[in-house]
Structure 1
Amino acid sequence: MEDNVFRAIEQKKVSAQIIDQVKTLIASGKLKPGDALPPERELMKVFNVSRPTLREALNALSTMGFVKMAQRQRTRVRSLVPSNITEPLHRLLKEDMSTSLELIESRTIIERGNARLAARRATDADIAKLERCLVSMRAKLEAHDSVTEDDAEFHIAIAEAAHNKIQTHLMFSIYDLLKEKVGLCYMNDEKMAILDQHQSIVEAIKARDEQQALTRMEEHLSYVESLLNRLIAKESSVKQ
C-alpha cells in the first residue's frame, strides 16, 4: 500500500456546520431572498449552540453575502445577485428615470419565462400564495393604502412558482430596484386595471395555460411600461 493514502480526519467547527446548513437551504431554494431567519434565541435552541457560536456563523454568512444583519432586526437572506451590480444601478435609477425603462425591458424578458414556467410547475401552495397577494392588494387599494411592497411580492411569488431559484434571486434584486418606480403607477386611476391584470395572470397559471400566462404577463408589463413612459414625459416637461 502506498504511503499517505489516508488523510487525517478534520474536526469541523460547529459554526462551520451552521454555515453549511444555511447555504444548503439557500441553494435548495428552501430559504428565499428576503426570508427572515428565526430569532437568535430560537436558532440557538434549534442548533443547540451558544450565542457566540451562532453569531460567529451569522457574521461569516453576512461577510460571504448570503445574509443581511441589522441591529434590532431579524437576519434576512440576501439576493445572490452581487451588491456591486445593484448599487450602481440604484444610483442611476435615482438620477435618470428613463433607466427604469431599460430595467423593465430586462424584467420583461425574465418574467415572460417565469409566467410560463409557473403555469407548468406551480404547486397548489404557490397558487394559494398568489391568490393571497391579490386579496391583500385589493383590500389595500380599496383602503387607499400603499401596495408597492405587495406588487413586488406578487411578481417574486410568480418567480418562486417557477421553481428556479436563480430566477427568484434575480427578480428579488430587480424589484428591490424598481418597486418605488412601479409604485408610482398605483397613484393614478389605472391602479385597479393593474390589479385586474394580475388576476388574469393568476387565472392563466391556475389553468396551467403556459402560452396564456406568457401573453397576459407581456400585456401587463407593456401596460406598466406605457404608464412609466407617460410619467417620464410629464417629469421632463416639468423640468423644462
Structure 2
Amino acid sequence: MIDKRKSEALFEAMPPTGRLADAVSQSIAGALLEGRIAPGEALPSEGEIAREFGISKPIAREALRQLAGVGLIHTQQGKVARAKALNGEPLDRFYGYAVRSSLKRLREANEMRRVVETGIAQLAAERRAPEGIARMEEATQLMRETILEPGGFTECDIAFHLGMAAATGNSMIKVQMEGLGSIQREVSELFSRRSNRTKADWEHTIARHEAVLEAIRAGAVEAARASIEAHYEAADLASLEVAGDPGPGGPRA
C-alpha cells in the first residue's frame, strides 16, 4: 500500500475545469504512467482518494472505474485497486470484436495495421534496441520449428512483430502492437488455414520475416520499409482473399 504520508506528492493537481471524475482519473493516470505507482502496487482507498482531492466517494469510485476500463488498474469488490503494467489488452479486446464482426472490419483493421507497422519497421531500423532484435531472432527460429503447425506458427508470428515494436525502444509503440494482436492472429490464422498451402509457402513466409529482421538489424531504414511492405503484399493481403469463405465462426462480409 502507498504510504499515506506520501500521497500529497503522488498525484498532480487536478485541472481547474472539466468533470471531477475525469480530472481525478487523469491525475491518477499520470502517477501510473510515470511510474510513481508501480505495477502491482495498491492505490489509496476510495475514501483516501476522496479526501486527497476534496471530492465525494462516488466521484472517486467513478474515477477508479474509468481507469479500470482502460486497463490501467485492477479492481475487485471489497479490495483496494491495484496498478497494472501498461499493456495493449483493452485495444486487443476492441480489435478482436471488430475483426470477428465482419470481413469489412477485418480488411479495414488489417489496412490500418499495415500503415502502422510500416512506420514501426522504419523506426526499429533507426534505433535497433537489442531486446527487440533478440526477440525477433528467437521468433524466426521458432517459426522454423513450427512449420505446418498453424497455431504455434501464429504465436511465433505475433512474437516477431512484438519484437519489432520492442526494437523501437518506444513503450507506446509496444502497447499499440500488443493491441493489434487480435488483428494479426485473425489474419495469420486465415493464411495458415488455406487448404493449398505447401511447406514451401511456409518457408517463404519465414524468409520474408528474416528479410525484415536483417534490414532492421543492419539499420537499413528504407530496406526495412520495403521488406515489411513486401511481407504484407505476399502474406496478409493474400490471406484476406480466402476470408470470403471463413468457415464456422469466422468473420462475415
**Number of aligned positions between the proteins:** 199
User: Which of 67, 81, 87 is the equivalent residue of 1:79?
Assistant: 87
Deviates more, 1:183-192 or 1:160-169: 183-192
Structure 1 residues 26, 159: closer, same or farther in 2, change over 3 A? farther
Structure 1 residues 11, 26: closer, same or farther in 2, change over 3 A? closer
Q: How far off is 1:147 after superposition?
A: 1.9
Q: Does 1:156 align with 2:162?
A: yes
Structure 1 residues 98, 209: closer, same or farther in 2, change over 3 A? same
Mapping of residues 105-116 of structure 1, within 5 Å: 105-116=111-122
User: Which of 21, 24, 35 is the equivalent residue of 2:34?
Assistant: 24
Distance, in Å, in 2 between the alignment partners of 1:151 and 1:66 is 27
CA contact (8 A) 1:111 1:217 kept: yes
Mapping of residues 47-66 of structure 1, within 5 Å: 62=68, 65-66=71-72
Alignment match, 1:191: 202
TM-score of the pair, normalised by structure 2 = 0.63
Q: Does 1:204 align with 2:212?
A: no
Structure 1 residues 25, 202: closer, same or farther in 2, change over 3 A? farther
User: Which of 133, 139, 158 is the equivalent residue of 2:139?
Assistant: 133
Q: Does 1:231 align with 2:242?
A: yes
Q: Does 1:179 align with 2:185?
A: yes
Distance, in Å, in 2 between the alignment partners of 1:82 and 1:142 is 31
Structure 1 residues 145, 106: closer, same or farther in 2, change over 3 A? closer
Q: How far off is 1:149 after superposition?
A: 2.0
Q: How far off is 1:206 after superposition?
A: 1.1
CA contact (8 A) 1:148 1:180 kept: no
Alignment match, 1:169: 175
Structure 1 residues 63, 106: closer, same or farther in 2, change over 3 A? closer
Amino acid at match of 2:179: S
CA contact (8 A) 1:66 1:80 kept: no
Identity of aligned residues (%): 20
Distance, in Å, in 1 between the alignment partners of 2:36 and 2:146 is 31
Distance, in Å, in 2 between the alignment partners of 1:123 and 1:218 is 21
Structure 1 residues 136, 181: closer, same or farther in 2, change over 3 A? same
CA contact (8 A) 2:99 2:186 kept: no
Uncovered stretches (5+) of structure 1, i.e. residues with no partner: 1-9, 32-36, 38-42, 48-52
| Deviant stretches of 4+, over 4 Å | 19-22, 53-57, 60-64, 67-70, 80-83, 142-145
How large is the Cα RMSD of the aligned pairs? Answer: 3.9
CA contact (8 A) 1:67 1:78 kept: no
Distance, in Å, in 1 between the alignment partners of 2:161 and 2:241 is 22
Structure 1 residues 133, 25: closer, same or farther in 2, change over 3 A? farther
Amino acid at match of 1:79: N
TM-score of the pair, normalised by structure 1 = 0.66
Structure 1 residues 176, 209: closer, same or farther in 2, change over 3 A? same
Uncovered stretches (5+) of structure 2, i.e. residues with no partner: 12-28, 47-63, 77-82
